[in-house]
Amino acid sequence: MAGNKESKKEELVQKRSVQILEAAARVFAQKGYHAATTKEIAAQAGVSEGTIYNYFQSKEDLLLSIPRLISETTLLPPLTQIQATPTTSGEEEEKLLIIVLDKAFQTFQHNVDFLKVLFSALPTMDEETLEEYLRRTPLHLTQVLEEFLRIRIAQGVYRPMDTTVLARAFMGMIMIFMLTQEVLPGKRVFASVDYKAIGREIVQLFLHGVLAHPGQGEVA
């Protein structure tokens, strides 16, 4: 009985945290991080301003927590599902990874206004805050991807590789398109590419490289 109460309490805490973070993302996107107030965020979330501080230390803490919320609620579940399902063919692996990337790009596009706010706020963060952000989001995502790669290697799906390098390279391919197409001024310079096409090409590159005949012409 006590276990059920604890479980319900944890579920309520998680639900309220998500409610506050989603409200913060909307307010930050509408007003910008520096102009937004916790009072406005509380009103958007339908809670008292004091309630916010039961879950988060500060407005800055809210800003740093939102990206991880986005990744854990939308990006990680499909990757975890794939991780638990060994594939039997390269074609099957391609299809699964394309689904994950399609979900990732949809998520980024849905949250692009917030991402712009985040990127504009990053240069103003002190070193300690920036390190905390990197621990919570990019490093967290990279570690999850590294674990996925290690499991795939152990399953014999991928050849032995440096998973740290591979995970960062994979994340980098995704982020460069989001930055140039949605966030940076370069979106007016670079020709826009359909995200489904981007996802297919990234997966092809990730799984097969660029050689016309993989395994031939490699430097010994």
Domains defined along the chain, listed by start: 1-56 (1.10.10.60), 64-220 (1.10.357.10)
What is the per-residue pLDDT for 2?
A: 59
What is the per-residue pLDDT for 190?
A: 67
Q: Which residues contact 33 (CB under 8 A, 6 or more apart)?
A: 59, 63, 117, 118, 120, 121
Instruction: Please give the share of the chain, as a percent, with pLDDT higher than 70.
Output: 91
What is the per-residue pLDDT for 1?
A: 58
Write down the mean pLDDT value for the chain: 85
- List the alpha helices (DSSP H) in 122-194: 127-136, 138-154, 163-178
- Amino acid of residue 62: L
- Distance, first Cα to last Cα, the chain: 64
What is the per-residue pLDDT for 185?
A: 65
Instruction: Give the mean pLDDT of 48-54.
Output: 95
Which of 79-88, 100-109, 167-176, 202-211 is predicted least confidently? 79-88
What is the per-residue pLDDT for 3?
A: 64
What is the per-residue pLDDT for 217?
A: 47
Q: How confident is the model at residue 219 (pLDDT cuts 50, 70, 90)?
A: very low
What is the tens place of the pLDDT at every residue in 10-31?
A: 888 888 998 999 999 999 999 9
What is the per-residue pLDDT for 124?
A: 87
Dist CA 201 CA 98 (whole Å): 9
Q: ∠13-16-21 over CA atoms, to 5°? A: 120
DSSP for 47-99 reads S-HHHHHHH-SSHHHHHHHHHHHHIIIIIHHHHHHHHTS--SSHHHHHHHHHH
* pTM, 2 dp: 0.77
Which of 108, 103, 26, 13 is CA-nearest to residue 62? 26
Contact 134/50 with Cβ under 8 angstroms? no
